[in-house]
Structures are given as C-alpha cells and as structure tokens.
Amino acid sequence: GESVGLHLPTLSVQEGDNSIINCAYSNSASDYFIWYKQESGKGPQFIIDIRSNMDKRQGQRVTVLLNKTVKHLSLQIAATQPGDSAVYFCAETADSSYKLIFGSGTRLLVRP
C-alpha cells in the first residue's frame, strides 16, 4: 500500500522537531480538505480534516492550515516521532461530489 515514488518530495526531520508538509490544491470549488498518512503496506489513514469556512484546525500533535487565497494547505506535526515516518497526502473534495482528489504526496523521514 505504500506510495513508492521515485519522484516523491521528501522531508527529513530530526526526531522531536516540528514538521511542516505543504500541499497546493487545484479546485477553487473544493470545500473540504483532508490529510492522509500512508505507511508501508497499508492504505491511506485519516489524520485531520478542515472545511473551507475555517483556516486552522488542531488535533493531537497535528495542525492543518488552509489558505484559500493561494489554494494552499499545510500539515504541521509537533514533536515528530519515528512513528510519523510515512507518505502524507492531502485530498480535496467539493460538496457536489463523493470523490476525493489526492495530491501527489510527500515522504516524511524522521531521523533518530
């Protein structure tokens, strides 16, 4: 289930540091955004979501920021841990659709 990609951007961080993963989305009509984590051998796993009427949402150790002006989404992970190593995807959807549109993914590597 891993998104093994020769061309995946990679973010390497030291354990304990904060991580910021960025995503540009394409559809200005999208009104709901989700971050997924994909570990090796598994399917995408929901992390956090945000609706377009918000610009920030916090979860446990994670924060999602939404900038609709420039169609940009970011995921911040506080105190990154080795278990956070995975590929992270943003996804968007519009109210008129059931489908999720995924971004290309970022590989996060956490150095011990």
Partner 1 sequence: EPEVTQTPSHQVTQMGQEVILRCVPISNHLYFYWYRQILGQKVEFLVSFYNNEISEKSEIFDDQFSVERPDGSNFTLKIRSTKLEDSAMYFCASSETGTTGNEQFFGPGTRLTVL
Residue 53 near partner 1 by CB under 8 A: no
Binding mask 61-100 for partner 1 (x = CB under 8 A): ----------------------------x-x-xxx-xxxx
Whose Cβ is closer to partner 1: residue 66's or residue 80's? 66
* Two tokens, residue 14: 């030291």
Residue 56 binding partner 1, by CB under 8 A:
no
- Round to the nearest angstrom and report the end-to-end CA distance of the chain: 24
| 3 state SS of 100 | coil
**Residue found under tokens 């200005």:** 28
Half-sphere exposure of 87 (CA within 13 A, CB side): 21
Query: Should residue 112 be labelled a site residue for partner 1 when binding is judged by CB under 8 A?
Result: no
Strand order across the 19-24 sheet: 19-24, 72-77, 62-67, 56-58
Instruction: Write the interaction track for partner 1 spanning residues 18-47; mark x where CB under 8 A is met and - where it is not.
Output: -------------xx-x-x----xxxxxx-
What residues have CB less than 8 Å from 53, skipping those under 6 apart? 31
Closer residue to partner 1 in complex, CB, 5/82:
5
Residues near partner 1 (CB under 8 A) are: 1, 3-8, 31-32, 34, 36, 41-46, 49, 51, 89, 91, 93-95, 97-105
